[in-house]
Amino acid sequence: MTFTEFTKEDFDLIAKEYAPLAEAAKKRCRTDEEFAMVQKAFEFANEAHKNVRRRSGEPYILHPIAVAKIVVEDIGLGCKSIVAALLHDVVEDTEYTVDDIKTLFGPKVASLVDGLTKIKNVLDNEDRTKQSGFTTESLQAENFKRILLTMNDDVRVVLIKLADRLHNCRTIEYMPEHKRDKILSETMYLFIPLAHRLGLYSIKSEMENIWLIYKEPEDYNYIAEQTRNKVDTTGRQIDTFIAPIEAALNAEGYNFTIKKRVKTPYSIWHKMRTKRVTFDQIYDLYAVRIVFDPGTDDPVKERKQCYDIFSTITSLYRYQPDRLRDWIKQPKNNGYEALHCTLMSKSGMWVEVQIRSKRMDDIAERGIAAHWAYKNNGYISENDSEMDKWLEKIQNIIKSPDLDSLELLDIIHQDLLASDIVVFTPKGEQRTLAAGSTALDFAYAIHTKIGEHAIAAKVNMKLCSLSHTLHQGDQIEIITAQNAHPMLDWIDFATSRHAKRKILDYFRDNEPEILAKALEILGTRQTGGKPVPKQADRIIINGGIKYIIASCCNPIPGDPVIGFKNPDGSFMVHKKSCRVAESLASTRGDKVTVPKWIDAAHVTDFPVKISLLGIDRVGMLSDITQQISLSMGINMRKLVLGCENGIFEGTIELFVGDRDTLEKLITSISHISGIQSVVRMEL
């Protein structure tokens, strides 16, 4: 922040930016008194931040205004949240205290501002780190813990913090690169999964795209350009696809709107990376969203209309059965409800169609705020709320007395990323478990005593062992015996933290002599009790400085990289998009550096791996190897190719000097007759 006298242009800009917020707030506030409080908060914050500028040179007050806009327009929160968003930096950055806020704006606003102040950028002040007695890692984990703890007091604090983080991401270009990398890594590690779990799709998507712009700029630019080209050439086909749907729904008397959506650059990039496909193989680039007003508050009638609309549109176009996603019968744990299907257009293009009621669309776009608004109006019962169950589970984890902050952060991170399955009790009651859960996990989820006395299970009426892995929609009955008790090998296949802890509690209370063995098994469970071979990190010395090339992502010259300074003065170098690097930057923020690629002209043996897919023919292998070895002079170290029913696929590991060489190689192999795709993989 800098301090310079505001000009007339600055004051005009502030007024211009505040005007649309005032309009949005006026519609959201329930009384004139509430809107007067918003106006008062703006005037107070504007005076408090007077003559203060952001790194961009703009008046600082534009940041709280922007955060408040996100709070009301994207999240849909009300008066007190708008006021808190406008005031959220006042206590941190000015002479005013929380007590001052309480006197002027009341206890609830003061509580929200206090919560936001406590979780603001603790690691920006290195002296605070030293004075606190915490290590850098544990202090940053404590910061995240505070964020999550506020969900128990008032989830609005977390929602305003997400709005604050989104605007910081929008203006991140003005940050120095090392700070930018730290903020974006934190964003991907915690805030994006948190936005997803709270159902804030638009915020999640925007943060993902900003992350991609700075972490993998070449990939982002390529995908954005290809998407624009595809939309320009095929956009009219979507309009042609929509026209019969629109006519049919109008004829049946529905009150609806149809929206067109193009897959986001990040979601395309992620799919290309995880599915190992090229851009041209992304067949669900387009989506069409049908949002209808059911004209009733009856959830049964609302859901019936969803299925009726599905019946109407599938009478017009053929649909792909294995791409049908019914999140109406089984909503996602973030409250998301919709019916998704993929239809074949008359021009031969697959198009995803999403069917939502207006209520479902509100929840999908605004997440937990809309979810609770409908719930408070009596629409959603407590028992139906997967969101409430998840929030309760998170609070139980956070309050666990035997977890340090780093362990807690790891558990929360894994939970945020975990996918879930829905299973059923013998009476048809719904239970949500993590994907990969076993029958034993289900038993402990029902009740600790059921778990302790379990001996077997019936899954879909078929007798199974307790180690049986459950799948979506399974119905499970646990068979118990009064004299049964937990066995040592249960630690080996229990996957939930709850089940493992209950098993350990049993041994601690009843068979303490076995507890040490149980803990040993638990410690080696992730590797099956066997050591895991890891590639050795590569070391390059340049100018007397040791650069360690991380084996988890194997960056090569030309890749965007992030560095971490080690105590011995060496630098660990990762790709910016590496998941390990994201985790490190989220717990070792003060160690982040921006290494420039060293002069590695003399180093030509950076290992990379590519995957190939194509139509087999005589001479295919010879053409590939000649292109690599003879035409481009690149050394191969491993080649695995297989052919079945005329289709070949495989992988090649080779050594290159830099990313430019690799991309030229991929392009040259792609031009070989019969090759369908060539994609870089993680080693």
Tens digits of residue pLDDT in 149-167: 666 667 788 889 999 999 9
102 burial level (CB within 10 Å; 0-12, 13-18, 19+): middle
% the chain with pLDDT above 70: 83
Query: Is the pLDDT confidence value at 225 over 60?
Result: yes
Looking at the fold, whether 376 and 238 belong to one and the same domain comes out as yes
Residue 252 belongs to a domain: yes
Residue 412 belongs to a domain: no
Residue 629 belongs to a domain: yes
| Closest-CA residue to 192 (of 76, 282, 77, 270) | 270
Amino acid, single-letter form, for residue 573:
V
Lowest mean per-residue pLDDT among 241-250, 298-307, 360-369, 650-659: 360-369
Measured CA angle at 394 (ends 143, 153), to 5 deg: 65
Cα distance between residue 281 and residue 268, in whole Å: 10
Looking at the fold, whether 512 and 616 belong to one and the same domain comes out as no
| Number of domains forming the structure of the chain | 5
User: For residues 655 and 556, is the Cβ–Cβ distance under 8 A?
Assistant: no
Residue 575 belongs to a domain: yes
Residue 662 belongs to a domain: yes
Per-residue model confidence (pLDDT) at position 129: 42
Q: Identify the top-confidence range among 576-585, 640-649, 673-682.
A: 673-682
Lowest mean per-residue pLDDT among 229-243, 420-434, 453-467, 607-621: 420-434
Per-residue model confidence (pLDDT) at position 584: 83
Query: Is the pLDDT confidence value at 305 over 50?
Result: yes
| Closest-CA residue to 199 (of 359, 41, 309) | 359
CATH number where 423 lies: 3.10.20.30
> pLDDT band at residue 381, thresholds of 50, 70 and 90?
very low
Tokens of residue 558, six digits: 């030309």
Per-residue model confidence (pLDDT) at position 338: 93
Residue 402 belongs to a domain: no
Looking at the fold, whether 580 and 622 belong to one and the same domain comes out as no
Q: How many CB atoms lie within 10 A of CB 116?
A: 25
Query: Is the pLDDT confidence value at 34 over 60?
Result: yes
User: For residues 185 and 210, is the Cβ–Cβ distance under 8 A?
Assistant: no
Cα distance between residue 521 and residue 74, in whole Å: 47
User: For residues 494 and 503, is the Cβ–Cβ distance under 8 A?
Assistant: yes
| Closest-CA residue to 352 (of 322, 330, 319) | 319
Amino acid, single-letter form, for residue 124:
D
Cα distance between residue 283 and residue 670, in whole Å: 19
Cα distance between residue 499 and residue 447, in whole Å: 10
The residue that leads in pLDDT, 530 or 664, is 664
Instruction: Find the catalytic residue in 17, 58, 73, 93.
Output: 93
Q: How many CB atoms lie within 10 A of CB 540?
A: 15
Cα distance between residue 415 and residue 408, in whole Å: 10
| Closest-CA residue to 452 (of 489, 426, 480, 431) | 480
* Residue 646 structural domain: 606-681
Query: Is the pLDDT confidence value at 480 over 80?
Result: yes
Instruction: Give the domain-ending residue among 486, 505, 527.
Output: 527
Q: What is the mean pLDDT of residues 10-21?
A: 96
Amino acid, single-letter form, for residue 341:
C
The residue that leads in pLDDT, 414 or 50, is 50
Residue 133 belongs to a domain: no
Q: Which residue has the tokens 């050394």?
A: 635
Q: What is the mean pLDDT of residues 125-134?
A: 42
Measured CA angle at 323 (ends 317, 325), to 5 deg: 105
Tokens of residue 603, six digits: 């180093």
Average per-residue pLDDT for the chain: 84
Element (H, E) at 653: strand 647-656
Looking at the fold, whether 161 and 301 belong to one and the same domain comes out as no
| Closest-CA residue to 510 (of 555, 561, 452) | 452
Amino acid, single-letter form, for residue 170:
R
Looking at the fold, whether 80 and 9 belong to one and the same domain comes out as yes
Looking at the fold, whether 41 and 172 belong to one and the same domain comes out as yes
* Maximum CA extent, the chain: 83
Mind giving me the DSSP string for 390-442?
Answer: HHHHHHHHHT-TT--HHHHHHHHHHHHH--EEEEE-TT--EEEEETT-BHHHH
Amino acid, single-letter form, for residue 218:
E
Looking at the fold, whether 373 and 486 belong to one and the same domain comes out as no
Is-catalytic flag, 92? yes
User: For residues 86 and 60, is the Cβ–Cβ distance under 8 A?
Assistant: no
Tokens of residue 446, six digits: 């029902």
Looking at the fold, whether 202 and 225 belong to one and the same domain comes out as no
Looking at the fold, whether 239 and 288 belong to one and the same domain comes out as yes
Secondary structure (3-state) at 613: strand
| Closest-CA residue to 85 (of 10, 166, 194, 183) | 166
Per-residue model confidence (pLDDT) at position 10: 93
Phi-psi region of 574 (alpha: psi -120 to 50; beta: other; left: phi over 0): beta
Mind giving me the DSSP string for 39-60?
Answer: HHHHHHHHHHTTTEE-TTSSBT
Distance of CA 183 to the CA centre of its chain: 15
| Closest-CA residue to 578 (of 8, 102, 157, 184) | 184
Query: Is the pLDDT confidence value at 623 over 80?
Result: yes
Lowest mean per-residue pLDDT among 100-104, 287-291, 496-500: 496-500
> pLDDT band at residue 526, thresholds of 50, 70 and 90?
very low
Give Cβ neighbours of residue 39 (< 8 Å, ≥ 6 apart): 22
pTM: 0.77
Instruction: Give the number of C-alpha atoms closer than 13 A to the C-alpha of residue 3, restricted to the C-beta side.
Output: 5
Instruction: Give the domain-ending residue among 508, 527, 546.
Output: 527
Report residue 638: phi and psi, to 5°: -160, 135
Instruction: Give the domain-ending residue among 593, 620, 637.
Output: 593
Q: What is the mean pLDDT of residues 493-503?
A: 85
Residue 515 belongs to a domain: yes
Q: Which residue has the tokens 């289709």?
A: 647
Cα distance between residue 652 and residue 643, in whole Å: 15
Tens digits of residue pLDDT in 394-436: 666 666 655 555 555 666 666 666 677 778 888 888 788 888 8
Is-catalytic flag, 452? no
CATH number where 354 lies: 3.30.460.10
60 burial level (CB within 10 Å; 0-12, 13-18, 19+): buried
| Closest-CA residue to 335 (of 352, 353, 356, 307) | 356
The neighbouring-strand residues paired with 2 are: 53
Q: Identify the top-confidence range among 165-174, 544-553, 652-661.
A: 165-174
Q: Which residue has the tokens 């982002």?
A: 220
| Closest-CA residue to 561 (of 593, 532, 589) | 593
Parallel/antiparallel/unpaired status of strands 675-681 and 647-656:
unpaired
Looking at the fold, whether 499 and 565 belong to one and the same domain comes out as no
Lowest mean per-residue pLDDT among 263-272, 392-401, 621-630: 392-401
Per-residue model confidence (pLDDT) at position 131: 41
CATH number where 653 lies: 3.30.70.260
Per-residue model confidence (pLDDT) at position 513: 73
Looking at the fold, whether 102 and 50 belong to one and the same domain comes out as yes
Instruction: Find the catalytic residue in 43, 47, 92, 218.
Output: 92
Distances (CA, A) of 40 to 100, 250, 446, 545, 574: 14, 47, 51, 56, 48
Tens digits of residue pLDDT in 347-379: 888 899 999 999 999 888 877 777 666 766 655
Instruction: Give the number of C-alpha atoms closer than 13 A to the C-alpha of residue 427, restricted to the C-beta side.
Output: 2
Per-residue model confidence (pLDDT) at position 390: 65
Per-residue model confidence (pLDDT) at position 430: 76
> pLDDT band at residue 672, thresholds of 50, 70 and 90?
very high
Tens digits of residue pLDDT in 576-588: 998 888 888 877 7
What is the DSSP code (8-state) at residue 610? E
Per-residue model confidence (pLDDT) at position 353: 95
Q: What is the mean pLDDT of residues 584-611?
A: 76
Lowest mean per-residue pLDDT among 67-81, 204-218, 269-283, 418-432: 418-432
Looking at the fold, whether 84 and 198 belong to one and the same domain comes out as yes
